[in-house]
Amino acid sequence: MKEHRLGIIMNGVTGRMGTNQHLMRSIVEIIKQGGVDLGNGEVIMPDPILVGRDAAKLAKLSAVSGVKKYTTDLASVLDDPYYSIYFDAQTTGRRASDVLAAIAKGKNIYCEKPVATDVETALKLYAACEKAGVKHGVVQDKLWLPGLRKLNRLIEQGFFGEILSVKGDFGYWVFEGDTIPAQRPSWNYRKEDDGGIIVDMLCHWRYVLDNLFGNVEGVFCLGATHIAERVDEKGNTYTCTADDAAYAIMTLAGGIVAQFNSSWVTRVRRDDLLMIQVDGTKGSAVAGLRDCWTQPYGNTPKPVWNPDIPNPIAFYDGWNKMPEQEFYDNAFKAQWELFLKHIVRNDPFPWDLKAGARGVQLAEKGLESWEKRTWVNLPEL
């Protein structure tokens, strides 16, 4: 068995997403399974070092994960040629400078989204990678969610006929922190710290729409800061300066209309935290994070509007849950494995930093639309 051992700098993994999804559920699990099997008697074995600003947090994470190496000195590991990959899961505002430093040292780049706080910087990162000749990718995890993989299978099979529209509903109630602790960090609600649900979530909807349905061509977005004050991690009350809800309508290539509601101030009465409905001339489907339900044309009921009598149709009964026909691994882990294969044997990996820049573009244009109260077109990047 030939082993390709890859040194990976994992910067910012003491945060919630970095710890749970990228370290514990991705890299640690890949190590536990014996690496990424290339199917020819070869495996890729990640060899991470944890990097952050808090030595105590790193030590605790090292003990929990079993990853022995950690440091607060990013510059020293960037100088070490053993580490060929730089991964960034820091807060958005810290990302660009460290990614540029890693590119200057010849590291291959893999990072969380948004890749930057503005399109100009995002494209600068992409151009720097291309000039340096390093490989690069951005996390676009929702493409590997079981529910969305099932939606994609339906598209490939022509189930929908002509797709007419896509409707997404995402979010949940994030507690204010006064009586019940908040389940999201306080910086999410401060614009000066690059917070806000438009910046956070519209980059997700961009890659979902671009990859499954068609490139986003225009957007109208209304943001809102519904909760004026929250309580931070130290118990201090602060003013919310960033949006906590966004209501967006987008047009896609081919004439498809998409609308996504994103909210941290909504209570869930649906099947999952994210639900996406696709309506087509031959059928419709509704997907959550894991499950997907379908209704073909021949099983579509014929409602008649009459509010004076109890509704005679049990609408949920007309939908069929798709069976489990494939194994779906953790979405973050699945993309990590694809990126590692891209590094070792140059397998295709289209989710690069330019794709990340397109996500930033939609967020930027969404904010512009909200500010101007107008429709905004998205120029091709």
- Are 59 and 194 within one domain? no
Is it the case that residue 45 has pLDDT exceeding 90?
yes
Residues 252 and 369 in one domain: yes
Q: Specify the CATH number for the domain of residue 194.
A: 3.30.360.10
Q: Are residues 215 and 278 in the same domain?
A: yes
Sign of CA dihedral 367, 362, 214, 145: negative
Q: Does residue 381 form part of some domain?
A: no
pLDDT for the residue 231: 98
Q: Does position 318 have pLDDT exceeding 90, yes or no? A: yes
CA distances from 341 to 36, 39, 171, 211 (A): 8, 11, 33, 20
Q: Are 336 and 372 within one domain?
A: no
Residue in 25, 357, 104 with CA at minimum distance from that of residue 207: 357
Q: Predicted confidence band at 350 (pLDDT cuts at 50, 70, 90)?
A: very high
Structure tokens that stand for 113 in this block: 């989204």
* 206 and 184 co-located in one domain: yes
Contacts of 347 (CB under 8 A, 6+ apart): 338, 341
**Could you tell me if residue 178 is inside a domain?**
yes
To 10 degrees, the CA torsion angle through 199, 204, 205, 210?
120
Domain tally, the chain: 2
Q: pLDDT confidence of 1, banded at 50, 70, 90?
A: confident
| Same domain membership, residue 199 and residue 114 | no
Query: For the residues 200-224, what does the mean pLDDT come to?
Result: 98
In this structure, what CATH number is given to the domain that contains residue 51?
3.40.50.720
Q: What pLDDT, in 10s, does the model give residues 101-120?
A: 999 999 999 999 999 989 99
- Does residue 52 sit in the same domain as residue 195? no
Residues 151 and 298 in one domain: yes
Q: 166 and 101, same structural domain?
A: no
- Say how far apart CA 362 and CA 204 lie, in whole Å: 10
The tokens describing 130, both together, are: 């291309």
Reported confidence tier of residue 93, pLDDT bands at 50, 70, 90: confident
Mapped to the 3 state alphabet, what secondary structure does the chain carry? CEEEEEEEEEECCCCHHHHHHHHHHHHHHHHHCCCEECCCCEEEEEEEEEECCCHHHHHHHHHHHCCCCEECCHHHHHCCCCEEEEEECCCHHHHHHHHHHHHHCCCEEEECCCCCCCHHHHHHHHHHHHHHCCCEEECCHHHHCHHHHHHHHHHHCCCCCCEEEEEEEEECECCCCCCCCCCCCHHHHCHHHCCCHHHHHHHHHHHHHHHHCCCEEEEEEEEECCCCEEECCCCCEEECCCCCEEEEEEEECCCCEEEEEEECECCCCCCCCEEEEEEECCEEEEECCCCEEEEEHHHCCCCCCCCCCCCCCCHHHHCEECCCCCCCCCHHHHHHHHHHHHHHHCCCCCCCHHHHHHHHHHHHHHHHHHHHCCCEECCCC
Task: State whether 188 and 296 are in the same domain.
Answer: yes
- Bridging pattern class, strands 245-252 and 136-138: unpaired
Quote the CA–CA distance of 17 and 33 in Å, as a whole number. Answer: 21
Question: Do the domain assignments include residue 150?
Answer: yes
Record the pTM. 0.94
Rounded CA-CA distance 30/10 in Å is 15
Percent of the chain exceeding pLDDT 70 equals 100
Q: Are residues 21 and 125 in the same domain?
A: yes
Note the pLDDT tens digit of each residue in 157-191.
999 999 999 999 999 999 999 999 999 999 999 99
Q: What is the mean pLDDT of the chain?
A: 97
Residue 91 within any structural domain of the chain: yes
Apex CA 282: angle with CA 280 and CA 288, to 5°? 55
Residues shown for the chain: 381
Q: What percent of the chain has pLDDT over 90?
A: 97
- Report the range of poorest mean pLDDT among 100-104, 324-328, 334-338, 362-366: 324-328
Domain shared by 169 and 282, yes or no:
yes
Domain that includes residue 320, residue range: 143-327+361-376
